[in-house]
């Protein structure tokens, strides 16, 4: 770790009780390589964030982070977004970046809270959030406005499930019976080609249920045919690892696999019974990471601490680092970037005692994008032979290209092949190897 500190743009400053150093970042190049290789190659990058209210609310860092990706690589769509309470509050008129769907609630429509422990229906959703339609007096229905060329309806097939009719732009598109005869709830998808001309074009989608048996639809996943980043918000207010452990179901695993994520960022601090028990928090986080790794073997993972809005985040930042090292994930430490709430608040970065203002969201989004991009720049150079590994064969491939005077060896992109390319390659490899 010492060499990565010496060469890194961001270096270690925090310290933990044992006297060891708590780095600001660790083991990122390996984690970001698949995402950025696809983006740099003109493909689709799929990024998810499992988080709490800090990753749920409008104006927060995640939407600004997504915006930075979109500015550099384009938008491949708005991704997975729960059809829950909050979705309607952050559309085009939000103070921050757009982060929602347009919603027109109709009768018979009920939906989960966007915060707190997962209820039984929420255990079939990766973020615990759901929307239900059922006939009460009149048929149940709601209309949504969704972005992009494709809308994937993520719904649940279950015992007692009802029949939904889905209209797209005013025309009946599909009638689906969501009932199964027995067994645990299952995740299912309906793909709608909206015909929309781009990622910023809205299509009206109306779901209705004539019957008394409820239909559960968890989310829309908005996709576009254009290359770029697709961001999936998988966050639930007030939830820590303990609450997310309730989402270790087959339905959630199938849903997560369908998102094709190259990178998953997990940003959960302690909540509930974990608050004053770091060991319990650490154990729960470890089990949650273990679940994601088992279900998503090709998805890279980064564990990220919270900003230092309260001192309790410090010991959790150490616990997160231990889990990251044990599980082989990356690590981003936001806790040591500021001295605490007062400093962030004086800078205008806070909205209340926990959440980020739009300015704070922009600052942290920019910062996180910067460390991801820096790691990606190193990774893309270090994996010179493009096999996803950093090893001696990359050294061999680089030296061969350098000796043959190939443009690919101009890794510092200054149009000249010289010693500085060798230096840049070795620095990138050193970073990548950590």
Q: How far is the CB of 260 from Ca ion (least distance, A)?
A: 23
387 near Ca ion (CB under 5 A): yes
Alpha helices in 118-266 (DSSP H): 241-244, 250-258
Q: How far is the CB of 43 from Ca ion (least distance, A)?
A: 19
Helix (H) or strand (E) holding 394: helix 392-403
385 near Ca ion (CB under 5 A): yes
412 near Ca ion (CB under 5 A): yes
Residue from 72, 342, 343, 414 in contact with Ca ion (CB under 5 A): 414
421 near Ca ion (CB under 5 A): yes
| CB nearer Ca ion, residue 277 or residue 423 | 423
Q: Are 62 and 231 in contact (CB under 8 A)?
A: yes
| CB nearer Ca ion, residue 36 or residue 61 | 36
| CB nearer Ca ion, residue 239 or residue 417 | 417
| CB nearer Ca ion, residue 147 or residue 402 | 402
**What contacts 131, CB < 8 A, 6 or more positions away?**
82, 83, 84, 109, 110, 111, 112, 142, 216, 217, 218
Binding marks (x or -) toward Ca ion, 145..164, rule CB under 5 A? Answer: --------------------
Span from 128-136, 251-259, 369-377, 392-400 in contact with Ca ion (CB under 5 A): 392-400
Q: Are 124 and 187 in contact (CB under 8 A)?
A: yes
Span from 70-78, 96-104, 174-182, 404-412 in contact with Ca ion (CB under 5 A): 404-412
Tokens found for residue 211: 């019957």
Residue from 52, 224, 378, 394 in contact with Ca ion (CB under 5 A): 394
Q: Other CB atoms closer than 10 Å to residue 386's CB: what's the count? A: 11
Report d(CA 133, CA 414) in Å as an integer: 59
**What contacts 261, CB < 8 A, 6 or more positions away?**
46, 47, 48, 232, 296, 299
Span from 129-137, 247-255, 358-366, 376-384 in contact with Ca ion (CB under 5 A): 376-384
Residue from 180, 377, 389, 426 in contact with Ca ion (CB under 5 A): 389
Q: Are 153 and 125 in contact (CB under 8 A)?
A: no
378 near Ca ion (CB under 5 A): no
| CB nearer Ca ion, residue 245 or residue 395 | 395
Q: Which runs of E-coded beta strand occur in 194-323?
A: 202-209, 215-223, 228-235, 263-267, 300-304
| CB nearer Ca ion, residue 277 or residue 413 | 413
Q: How far is the CB of 409 from Ca ion (least distance, A)?
A: 8
Report d(CA 208, CA 196) in Å as an integer: 22
Q: How far is the CB of 289 from Ca ion (least distance, A)?
A: 25
399 near Ca ion (CB under 5 A): no
Binding marks (x or -) toward Ca ion, 19..58, rule CB under 5 A? Answer: ----------------------------------------
Helix (H) or strand (E) holding 48: strand 44-51
Pick the closest to residue 78 from 195, 278, 223 (CA basis). 223
Residue from 192, 410, 427, 431 in contact with Ca ion (CB under 5 A): 410
Phi and psi of 422, rounded to 5°?
A: -60, -45
Q: How far is the CB of 268 from Ca ion (least distance, A)?
A: 32
Triad 342, 345, 351: Cα angle to 5°: 135
**Positions that interact with Ca ion (CB under 5 A):** 383, 385, 387, 389, 394, 410, 412, 414, 416, 421
């Amino acid at each position: 770790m010492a060499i990565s500190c010496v060469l890194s743009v961001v270096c270690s400053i925090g310290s933990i009780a044992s006297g060891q150093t708590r780095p600001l970042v660790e083991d990122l190049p390996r984690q970001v390589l698949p995402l950025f290789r696809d983006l740099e190659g003109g493909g689709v990058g799929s990024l998810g964030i499992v988080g709490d209210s800090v990753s749920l609310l409008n104006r927060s860092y995640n939407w600004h982070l997504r915006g930075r990706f979109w500015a550099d690589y384009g938008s491949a769509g708005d991704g997975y977004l729960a059809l829950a309470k909050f979705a309607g509050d952050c559309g085009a008129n939000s103070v921050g970046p757009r982060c929602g769907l347009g919603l027109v609630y109709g009768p018979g429509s009920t939906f989960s809270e966007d915060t707190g422990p997962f209820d039984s229906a929420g255990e079939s959703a990766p973020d615990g959030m759901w929307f239900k339609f059922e006939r009460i007096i009149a048929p149940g229905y709601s209309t949504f406005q969704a972005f992009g060329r494709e809308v994937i309806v993520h719904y649940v097939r279950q015992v007692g499930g009802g029949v939904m009719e889905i209209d797209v732009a005013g025309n009946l598109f599909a009638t689906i019976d969501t009932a199964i005869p027995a067994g645990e709830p299952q995740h299912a998808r309906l793909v709608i080609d909206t015909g929309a001309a781009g990622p910023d074009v809205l299509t009206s989608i109306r779901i209705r249920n004539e019957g008394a048996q409820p239909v559960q639809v968890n989310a829309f996943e908005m996709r576009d045919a254009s290359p770029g980043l697709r961001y999936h918000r998988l966050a639930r207010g007030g939830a820590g690892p303990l609450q997310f452990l309730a989402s270790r179901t087959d339905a959630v695993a199938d849903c997560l696999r369908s998102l094709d994520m190259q990178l998953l960022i997990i940003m959960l601090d302690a909540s509930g019974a974990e608050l004053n028990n770091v060991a319990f928090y650490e154990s729960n986080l470890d089990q949650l990471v273990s679940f994601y790794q088992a279900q998503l073997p090709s998805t890279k993972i980064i564990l990220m601490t919270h900003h230092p809005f309260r001192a309790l985040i410090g010991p959790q930042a150490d616990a997160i680092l231990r889990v990251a090292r044990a599980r082989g994930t990356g690590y981003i430490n936001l806790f040591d970037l500021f001295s605490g709430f007062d400093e962030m608040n004086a800078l205008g970065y806070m909205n209340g005692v926990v959440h980020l203002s739009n300015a704070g969201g922009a600052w942290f989004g920019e910062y996180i994008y910067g460390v991801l991009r820096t790691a990606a720049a190193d990774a893309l150079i270090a994996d010179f032979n493009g096999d996803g590994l950093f090893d001696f064969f990359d050294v061999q491939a680089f030296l061969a290209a350098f000796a043959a005077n190939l443009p690919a060896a101009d890794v510092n992109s200054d149009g000249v092949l010289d010693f500085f390319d060798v230096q840049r390659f070795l620095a990138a490899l050193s970073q990548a190897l950590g």
